[in-house]
Amino acid sequence: MDMLIALLPALFLGSNSVITAKIDGKPSQGTLGTTIGAVIFAVLVSVFYTVPNAGLAFAFNPRIWLVGLCSGVFWTIGSFGQFSALKPLGVSMAMPISTAGQVVGNALLAAIVLGQWRTLNVWVIGVIAIILVTSGAVLCSAKDSAADARRISAKDMRFGLGALLFSTIGFMLYFIFPNLLHHTGFISDAIYNAPSGNGLYYMTAVILPQSIGQIITALAIVNFVERDRTLILHRKTALNIITGLLWAVGNMLIFVSAANPHVGQAIATTFSQLGVIVSTYGGIVVLHEHKTKRQMAGILLGTLLIVAGAVLMGLYTTT
């Protein structure tokens, strides 16, 4: 059951980028709409689960709120960068590249900084799993030299890759921050492990301040980067609330899995990145992104490698 819960975010997060691209708004509209949906979901979780079960003092613990706010800021930076890359590169190219960066970064941060890989065997298997997932993501995003040269200009490629680098750093910090602050002692074991060693109260409490950090940063991007406040009340911003609700469900499941001692940060984040399969095929089927026979062969092989890497990670690096 623990591994099934860890796998579910892939479905919610993978469909997120496809829906956002289908809505076809600006990156700030996708980011802002998503954060509004995240706030709605977080308020519902807090009112109907965290406060009744963990108590008001726990749900509004200042340290939990500081962790959540910072995590939310990092997520918004990552999301804006990712949405910025969707148009110049296309969903079926941008998302696999984004996935590769996040898998490598988050798994290694969990292994090195959080110390979740404690034996040589786990390290060897974990590195092999990272290589498989990354290779699969690269194959899924491979260009056809002749066809894509005409479709994606060098300028768009540079901008898209730069946006994804920016995005990956933001997402890495967003993922690791709640666990990192526990690892450093800022969040006590009693808070982190409540109610029964699985971190359920802590991770559900984090998502409300996290969503507040997200929406504050998203509004700052609209005001100071886009400099267009009309985007706040735009129809495409409102439509992206749907993506926010989907993302919020997946996000909560990721953090619950990351705190679970039977899963851990490396597995939770790697499994969540299986959403690249949903987004890659969604980009082709729903958004009608053209792929040559050579690219489709790469995508099929890449899919197999991604799944193989995730299974290896789940079976043999469990803490």
Q: What is the pLDDT along the chain (319 residues), one digit of tens a residue?
A: 788 888 888 888 888 878 877 887 777 788 888 899 999 999 999 999 999 999 999 999 999 999 999 999 998 899 889 888 878 888 777 877 887 788 788 778 878 888 878 888 888 988 898 889 888 877 887 666 555 555 678 888 899 999 999 999 998 899 889 989 998 999 999 999 999 888 889 999 999 999 999 999 988 888 887 777 777 778 888 998 988 899 899 989 988 888 888 887 778 877 887 787 888 888 888 878 878 888 889 889 988 998 888 778 777 765 5
| Pair 168, 80: CB distance under 8 Å | no
d(CA 265, CA 254): 9
Dihedral (CA of 234, 235, 237, 238) sign = positive
| Pair 174, 71: CB distance under 8 Å | yes
Two tokens at 173? Answer: 């910090």
| Pair 94, 85: CB distance under 8 Å | yes
Looking at residue 43, its amino acid is V
Around 51, how many Cα atoms within 13 Å sit in the side-chain half-sphere?
Answer: 10
CA nearest to 260, candidates 187, 179, 183, 185: 179
**DSSP designation for 174:** H
Two tokens at 148? Answer: 């894509």
Helix (H) or strand (E) holding 294: helix 293-316
pLDDT of residue 18: 84
* Segments making up each domain of the chain, as ranges: 1-317
pLDDT of residue 146: 52
Residues in Cβ contact with 175 at an 8 Å cutoff, skipping those fewer than 6 apart: 102, 106, 109, 254, 258, 265, 269
Note the pTM of the prediction, 2 decimals. 0.81
Two tokens at 72? Answer: 């939310």
